[in-house]
A and B are shown apart, each in its own frame.
Chain A
């Protein structure tokens, strides 16, 4: 089966850097997604990692280590609008394309 763990909540200061960790256990692996979800809105795609290493996209970067079952999302130069829930998700292996989500990390950015 699959299991995904991420911290429930984090707090950071505007302009700072924050790292949101995600560990996963899966019977197979088809990549890992990060989504951002503002309160009352649908999740929006941030990143997809299928190979080990760091993928950088502007202020957001995502890292994957398949051997450790570990990923993180790195947010730089934090802005107040980055306050949101960040969801780590993996496709269910041989399960018809569904996504398995972690419980989400609620990030609060303070001035």
Chain B
């Protein structure tokens, strides 16, 4: 299965600032997914990032708040802009990946735990 390196693993940021999260995959993938997991909640998809085109955002998420870059088939960034305490969450990237006995599945980065103060 694919291996994803995500950083930073955690950060504490001041409100009004921005944080860029990076994900590097050890193989070329067509789509990369960015999820948010608020405290005590399950994962919610923010957007899908394809190389060479603009990201596709889910309802409730906008490009101005969560700009995404996808410069090549192994790398993507998510920026959380103009942060407020409500943005305190874990942010995870994910890719579709071959998995043993499953054909395919989804592998996740280790996550970025963001606290906005």
Contacts and interface: CB of A to CB of B under 8 A. Distances in A.
Interface string B42-57: 1111001000000010
Interface stretch (A13-21, A63-71, A72-80, A96-104): A96-104
A48 B105 CA distance: 8
B92 A42 contact: yes
A57 B111 CA distance: 26
Contacts of B101: 57
DSSP majority for the B interface? strand
Contact of A98 (B48, B105, B113): B48
B36 to A, nearest CB: 11
Interface residues of A, number: 21
A101 B111 CA distance: 17
Contacts of B103: 48, 50
Nearest to A48: B102
A42 B109 contact: yes
A40 interface: yes
B113 A101 contact: no
A33 interface: yes
Contacts of A102: 42
A42 B31 contact: no
B42 A96 contact: no
Interface string B96-117: 1001011101111111010000
Given A41-B111, A104-B42, A99 B102 contact: no
A71 B99 CA distance: 20
A57 B99 CA distance: 14
B33 interface: yes
B40 to A, nearest CB: 9
A9 to B, nearest CB: 11
Contact of A33 (B45, B58, B106): B106
Interface of B: 1, 31, 33, 41-45, 48, 56, 58, 92, 94, 96, 99, 101-103, 105-111, 113
Interface of A: 33, 40-45, 47-48, 50, 57, 87, 96-104
5 contacts: A57-B101, A87-B43, A98-B48, A101-B44, A103-B41
